[in-house]
Structure 1
Amino acid sequence: MDTETKFRVWDKDRNEMYYLTDNTTENNSIMDMRIVFDELGICVFVKGYGEEEFKNIRNFKLMQYTGLKDMNGKEIYEGDIVEYCNTLTELSEVIVSKVIYRKGCFGIEGFFKGSFIAFSDISPEHIKIVGNVYEKEA
């Protein structure tokens, strides 16, 4: 498991995802992002390619990288929608669910309402990212 701490930010006003790791947005515009923790909470600032000043993102959702990659090598973040092939039962069912942080670890919402499957109980080769809660299919 990758132990690097990474974040991405969904700007609710601009409807755009910013990745801190590679300083690019999904549409490949170059970004510089700063996440500042202060006494008032979390402040996020972004600066686009060629722009002089940082813009404050006031309406956002901060999501952390889980440290895992899916079957295609794509990094899995909180808020991703994944397909998980549950091979623990005789029926080998496919669950489409959201990646969440619960009980001190990352995992997915289970097949039954309120249930939780920790990533420590799942093999990454059985997980495929199909989108996230903010954007359409990946």
Structure 2
Amino acid sequence: MKPKFRAWLKEEYRMTDVREITFFNDEVQMISGVEDFYAYDEFELMQSTGLKDKNGKEIYDGDIVRFTLTDGFDYVVDEEGVVSYKLGAFYVVNGLTEYLISNINTNEIEVIGNEFEN
């Protein structure tokens, strides 16, 4: 899978697709969006999980999602959390509880916003 990114442009208060990432000394120094180039202090970079929600919307690090947990029988819990990348995997974090996103059925997950716009 080819990594896919988007970026929150801090001063413009908007999201942009990332076309190119420039590294220097193993650190991100600049990105190019759809319209312009941005220095490292002007954006927050977010990586796609490679998954889509129940509406076909791509899920990124930083997205706020609503999801349903079931045990296959009677136990059903509706939860909300923020998608976070750590320890080489994507998680949905809800307070002190973390759920590995690959363990949540994508038919039961919906992107309802992101941590920058909502």
Q: Same fold (TM over 0.5)?
A: yes
Structure showing greater relative contact order (alpha-carbon pairs closer than 8 Å, 6 or more residues apart): 2
Q: 2:6 aligns with which of 2, 5, 8?
A: 8
**Cα distance in 1, alignment partners of residues 76 and 23 from structure 2:** 44
Structure 2 length normalisation: TM-score?
0.85
Bigger Rg, structure 1 or 2: 1
More strand per residue: 1 or 2?
A: 2
**Kept in 2: contact 1:4–1:67 (CA 8 A):** no
What does the per-residue CA deviation read over 1:60-82, in whole Å, with 9 as the maximum and x for residues that have no partner?
11110001000001100000000
Unmatched runs of 5 consecutive residues or more in structure 1: 21-32
Aligned length: 116
Q: Secondary structure at the match of 1:4?
A: coil
**Cα distance in 2, alignment partners of residues 40 and 120 from structure 1:** 28
**Cα distance in 2, alignment partners of residues 55 and 120 from structure 1:** 33
- Counterpart check, 1:42 vs 2:23: no
In the other structure, the counterpart of 1:69 is 52
Q: Match of 1:84, as an amino acid?
A: F
Structure 1 length normalisation: TM-score?
0.74
Q: Secondary structure at the match of 1:125?
A: helix
Unmatched runs of 5 consecutive residues or more in structure 2: none
